[in-house]
Amino acid sequence: MKVFNDAATRVQCDSITRWKKEGKPVVGYTCSYTPAEIFYAADILPVRLRGIETDGMEVGDTYFGPFICSFPKCILQLAGKGKFSFLDGAIITPGCDGMRRLDECWRKAGEDFDGIVPDYFYYFDVPHKSENHGMAWYIEEVKELIKSVEKHFNVSITNEKLTAAIKAFNKGRRLLNEIENLRSKDEIVVSGTDVFAATIAGTVMPRDEYTKELKKWVTALKKRKTSLSKNKHRVMLVGSISDEIDLFELIEDTNKAIIAGENLCFGIRYEGNEIKEDGDPIEALADHYLGTSVCPRMYGKYKERLAMLKERIERSQAAGVIMQNIRFCDLHGAENALFERDLEAIGIPCLRVEREYGPHIDAGRMKLRINAFLERIDAKNDHKLSEAVAVSA
């Protein structure tokens, strides 16, 4: 786990530093709608931008204001403090309105803080529907992005290179699915914290290096015999964007729960889905990144998202669902309320918590609510046991 933890807990991990020393470019991107394979095909390292290591908010508050999701504000804060100086480019995507505003706020902050805007700074637009015109629009946006990368970095991104990149990324996706299969068994041999760290690492490490390390780790996991789930409640974590290992540790450090699955933007929700390796590679990328999206920003797909969540709960054997949303995240705040209504109606206990992204100053409050939620699951199980005993008698 050492290499994965390094990648998951530092803005500029050792893998990025080594890549830069080789004189090769690094491009950051803000959202899971950006096809990382495009950059791999051009020998550019794609790094998903994160807000960890933030220790203040003076820059973020100055250009964003206080009443907005703290995740894009943390990214801007780090940019203003020079934490992204290793970037040769950045891709901003309208995953939500707060992330859309990051484009203009970062550019504006660049007028006051010299050198914080990379030479290559690109706005990658994404539609809110994947049907018909939405898919055609997204495909055109992908083609324009490819042209822009080719022109700025003086590279050639052919269909052959894109197909090779898709195949390279799929190797890691298949390994992540093997981990999911391990987590679905009665006895879990790996913590949710470690799985999440390994998944995040795939968004910042060079893909070939990542796949090599992931394969070694999966091989070791298959040999483990010690169960980490014994006498613990299996829970699922869903909701707002999160790349914080601390959040997973907070839940699992109660010693009463193990995270058996998650439905988060940085998690296996996207990273574990394979892409078609035949046919037009651009269409294959579009089908994956837009067509299979389960983000609440996509219009008209709530029933599909609910069905997918139910399937994941069943697969992970989760006894309950913890739903978190960052304060001012309207998308997940509203969707979590709907999920809670519909899951509770079929007997699945749910906990909704609102939090700030970044340092867990409210860790005590959250731990108190999580412990109470786990006691609720205990009470439910005791009630079921009592009913079963009564019936048998």
Which sequence spans correspond to the domains of the chain? 14-160, 187-192+225-392
Cβ pair 177, 272 in contact under 8 A: yes
Helix axes 192-201, 159-183, angle to 10 degrees: 180
Q: Answer whether 0.85 is exceeded by the pTM.
A: yes
Q: Which residues contact 175 (CB under 8 A, 6 or more apart)?
A: 211, 214, 215, 218
Quickly count: other Cβ atoms within 10 Å of residue 184's Cβ: 16
pLDDT value, residue 356: 87
pLDDT value, residue 176: 94
pLDDT value, residue 389: 53
Residue matched to tokens 């574990």:
272
- For the chain, the 3-state helix, strand and coil shares in percent, each to the nearest 5, are 55, 10, 35
- Chain-centre distance of CA 269, in angstroms? 8
pLDDT value, residue 123: 98
E strands within the chain?
Answer: 26-29, 45-48, 89-92, 120-123, 233-239, 257-263, 320-326, 350-355
Residue matched to tokens 């269909």:
159
Cβ pair 260, 234 in contact under 8 A: yes
List residues bridging with 62 in a β-sheet. Answer: none
pLDDT value, residue 269: 65
Q: Which DSSP string do the residues of 109-128 spell out, in sequence order?
A: HHTTSTT-S-SEEEE----S
Residue whose C-alpha is closest to residue 213's, from 7, 32, 40, 26: 7
Q: Which CATH architecture fits 14-160?
A: 3-Layer(aba) Sandwich (3.40)
- Chain-centre distance of CA 330, in angstroms? 18
pLDDT value, residue 381: 74
**What residues of the chain score a pLDDT lower than 70?**
269-272, 359-361, 382-393
Q: Does domain 187-192+225-392 have CATH number 3.40.50.11900?
A: yes
Residue matched to tokens 């599909």:
304
Cβ pair 212, 279 in contact under 8 A: no
Cβ pair 355, 324 in contact under 8 A: yes
- Tell me if 14-160 shares its fold with 187-192+225-392: yes
- Chain-centre distance of CA 93, in angstroms? 15
Q: Which DSSP string do the residues of 294-350 spell out, in sequence order?
A: --TTSTT-HHHHHHHHHHHHHHHT-SEEEEEEETT-HHHHHHHHHHHHHHHTTT--E
